[in-house]
Structure 1
Amino acid sequence: MTVDEVVGGVADRYAALGFQTRGDLGQHFLRTPDAAYALLERAGIPAGAPVLEVGAGLGTLSSAIAAAGHRIWAVEKDERLRDHLTERLAPFGDRARVTFDDVRRVDLDGGLDPGSALVSIMPFDPRLAADLIRHVFTCSRVEYGLVVAPSASAELLSRSTDLAVVEVDGIARSSFWPPAPTVLRVLAIGRRSTCRS
């Protein structure tokens, strides 16, 4: 049986085929494009602005970002998703770039345009999510972000002196496969001098 023979969203199809998510990556996949478009709308990114996505997974959010006319740089660590994610973003041509690596080893300053936004579903491990967000914001070209992360990540990030974090929304645990193990929040993040909500 192939992924395309199973009815449902992409994440549900992978689940039905027995795909094993990686707990060490805090891996959970967004189940529907509707949830992706709702997040993108909440982000309020200016038309055509460049976007960085950390942990692109199955490309549900990446596809929504590119379809909305943004240039997306999708960074994904899990090599098992290479064929699927590359194929999913191929229709967007030069507007979509995929890198398979740990974002902490990627030259963000050399690869992002000024005014870039971080729009991501972070790993569902609170410490890992907070660490990755802090790392991305060491790049001067990332201006602001909107991320889905465990609520505990917001507490960890609030200890950072240079980032402003505002909880702007929640999202249902059932919006993900496997379902999220903890309470999730949609967080607006910015540098203290330029935070957007």
Structure 2
Amino acid sequence: MSAFELAEEEERQPRKRAPWGVIALVLLTGLALIRNGSGEFEVGPPQPASAAARDSRLPGAPAQAAALPHSAPDRVRIPSIQVDAPVMPVALDADGWVGAPPPEDPNLAGWFTGAVTPGEKGTAVVVGHVDNRQGPAVFYGLGAMKQGNRVEIARKDGKTAVFEVYGVEVFEKNNFPGDRVYGSKGTPELRVITCGGGFSKQNGYDGNVVAFARLVEVR
């Protein structure tokens, strides 16, 4: 069964998800597997500015939108950094790490199936590579996002969940705040994650860039 067939099966049969406490503990040590970006280019990916890191509502920002029912994501669009990519399901691999889309395809994102679908009550997680050996990949520009930027997730049910970014930060993989990043706030939220921070040939990227966003509109 292909990855996209798995997504369709997930759509037909929403599976029982693990408690967030368990997921957060696993991801605290595991999500850093989005670590196989090459980092082999003279100019690295943009890193979040300190002004983007505040967790606060923007003046005049839209109110939080009501939660949606379960429906697997189909596509992610982030106009501010020119992202328009299909989304495939990813899960934990045999080593207990959160998987990532195949690195050979630079324009492909992954939705972590152990979490809610984007738009549901809780925190959805979308991951993707920052680069590969050929050049920048889908979330290369994630660190350049600013508060107020929008992330649009087209879902299998035909609805588009629109999220507003309220913070962008980079965290060391050895000190990753799993509870803060993945924990549910009781409302529909989204985390978009890729590699970031410093890079070495031996260990790859030493951090993850995380965009924090909340649901503000449904189309």
Same fold by TM-score greater than 0.5: no
The structure with higher relative contact order (CA 8 Å, sep 6+) is 2
Higher helix share: 1
Higher strand share: 2
Q: TM tier, shorter chain?
A: under 0.3
